[in-house]
Amino acid sequence: MKVLVTGAAGFIGHALTRALMARGDEVIGIDNLNPYYDPALKHARVADLAGIATGAFDFLPLDFADYPGLVAALEGRAFDAIVHLGAQAGVRYSIDNPHAYVQSNLVGHLNILELARARGTGHCVYASSSSVYGNSTKSPFSVDTRVDHPVSLYAATKKADELMSETYAHLYRLPMTGLRFFTVYGPWGRPDMALWKFTRAILQDQPIDVYNHGDMRRDFTYIDDIIAGVIAVLDHPPADDGAAKPGGSISPHAVYNIGNNQPEPLGRMIDVVEAACGKPAIRNLLPMQPGDVHETYADISAIQTDLGYAPTTSIDTGIPRFVDWYRTYHQL
């Protein structure tokens, strides 16, 4: 199979591209290598992909929010499916930089939908987010729950992406699958995420900011479990059979949660990081930040039933793997 992967230099995009190449697939990777976090990490991920012997990797440094540039770059390049992971990430950053989210997550998503329509793409898988659930009191979070009350612009753009995808599945019968990711972590992760920040601070004997005084729970999901789910979804496009799909669509459009189905208290997560680092954290207890949520908890029954998805990695295993990678990457 030949797959177009957007955000290929990102955390999940890099891991997915590795996995696709490992099974012999060809990948066209797109990324604009923006400076939201240190582009050196993104360049390192691309360099890592270039060293893989199996499959094939064709990297295009471009911004998919530029539709003429996107079309021109892909002229003469065929692909069977799209996995659209590229986006402006980050809940808190969206409060200060809303225009970046509209450009990347709304304009950019529309461009990918138009590309899929023009090419007659067999399946378009796209990244949504657990953030769409906001402060839902129904736990665990089900894909059949209404998500009409986002608490950040980032979450609102991801919900909008789901709605646009539903429209294209309905109008053009494009097979679409949206994936609501839950707190992904692991080697090659993102510096703006709590695990990276905590690890760096603990190893440098600096304090860590613990929001809501530590009274938070997250459904931490290890990167390998995420990728297993993404590939299972990619290989099984939703049927255009009029039957209701997860998320409620009767068009060829499914929405799945991909999480660990095991929310962990923030305090326990920090305990595991401390043990992996071999030293205690200096905890700076703070109130809840605007746009943040108290708990994320994935109901994964839909993807379990349809595709056999079964995450296997606990934070007791996954966090030490990340800390070991972090030490290696930074030569500590």
Residue numbers annotated as active site? 154
CB 252 within 8 A of CB 177: no
For the chain, the straight-line distance linking the first and the last C-alpha, in angstroms and rounded, comes to 39
Residue-wise over 149-161: b if at least 16 C-beta within 10 A, else e? ebbbbbbbbbbbb
Contacts of residue 74, defined as CB under 8 A and 6 or more positions apart, other chains included, come to 4, 28, 60, 115
Q: Are 140 and 192 in contact (CB under 8 A)?
A: no
Number of residues that make up the chain: 332
Cβ-based burial of 317 (10 A; exposed 0-12, middle 13-18, buried ≥19) = exposed
Q: Are 173 and 117 in contact (CB under 8 A)?
A: no
The Cα-based distances of 24 to 9, 19, 67, 173, 228 in angstroms read 19, 9, 29, 29, 16
> Which two structure tokens, joined as six digits, stand for 321?
């793997």
Q: CA distances (Å), 227 to each of 14, 83, 186, in order?
A: 10, 12, 11
**Max intra-chain CA distance, the chain:** 57
